[in-house]
Amino acid sequence: SQKIEQNSEALNIQEGKTATLTCNYTNYSPAYLQWYRQDPGRGPVFLLLIRENEKEKRKERLKVTFDTTLKQSLFHITASQPADSATYLCALATGGGNKLTFGTGTQLKVEL
Amino acid sequence: DVKVTQSSRYLVKRTGEKVFLECVQDMDHENMFWYRQDPGLGLRLIYFSYDVKMKEKGDIPEGYSVSREKKERFSLILESASTNQTSMYLCASSSPPSLADTQYFGPGTRLTVL
């Protein structure tokens, strides 16, 4: 069956450290993958998109990698801050690019 | 900035009531979507529309219908609300060519059905 897996357990890290979140998928061949941030009681906000022919993408303190062999994307936040605390969702372009399928998200807590 | 607005942040309805959730976007996007989000299940696609008066079923359309009479407005209708439709409802929009391109979400409507 098709699955998108993100760690359901919250990730707690100390301010200033690098946070790394994982998105694994099975039985999909996405042309691209996106990461979104969601704050409690709010809608998701787009952060980054990475295509299957790109290994890595960066935006300010954010970095995303995409390994189509491992079927995995890693999302890194460097020099993390308490304001980075949120739930992060990965989303795959599925159905021949006609649909965005979301993972359940990982909650990140950055502590002082 | 893209703005997607939803008619209510919180809504409480009774079982059997007809419920309308409205979504408006101001970026002239062709594609619009309705999702529901439940703990442990993530976002699930209910319906989407890629043009005025066009609609397609998503993964969980049962118990819902939609209406798109104008490009900027996409309505989700619960014909007869049931308690298992208590959820967070999120509207999103995007521009072509792909329905899987970056989506812009509204703030969500938390619906409680008693």
> Residue B2: what pLDDT?
66
In chain A, whose CA is at the least distance from the CA of B58?
Answer: A99
Q: What is the mean pLDDT of chain A?
A: 93
> Residue B66: what pLDDT?
98
> Residue A2: what pLDDT?
82
β-bridge partners, B49: B32
- Token pair, residue B42, equals 């993530």
Place of tokens 């942040």: B9
At A67-101, the pLDDT tens digits run 999 999 999 999 999 999 999 999 998 877 778 99
Best mutation target among B30, B46, B98, B109 (most A Cβ atoms within 10 Å) is B98
- Token pair, residue B48, equals 């989407």
- Per-residue pLDDT 10s for chain B (114 aa) are 669 999 999 999 999 999 999 999 999 999 999 999 999 898 999 999 999 999 999 999 999 999 999 999 999 999 999 999 999 999 999 988 777 789 999 999 999 999
How far is residue B45's CA from residue B69's CA, in Å, rounded to a whole number? 20
Peptide bond into B97 cis (omega under 30): yes
Cross-chain Cβ contact A41/B110 below 8 Å = yes
Q: Which of A35-70 are b and which e, b meaning 16 or more Cβ less than 10 Å from the residue's Cβ? A: bbbbeeebbbebbbbbeeeeeebeeeebbbbbeeee
> Residue B98: what pLDDT?
78
**CB burial class (10 A; 0-12, 13-18, 19+) of residue B13?**
middle
Chain B residues within an 8 Å CB radius of A94: 100
User: How far away is chain A from the Cα of B43, in angstroms, using its nearest Cα?
Assistant: 6
> Residue A44: what pLDDT?
97
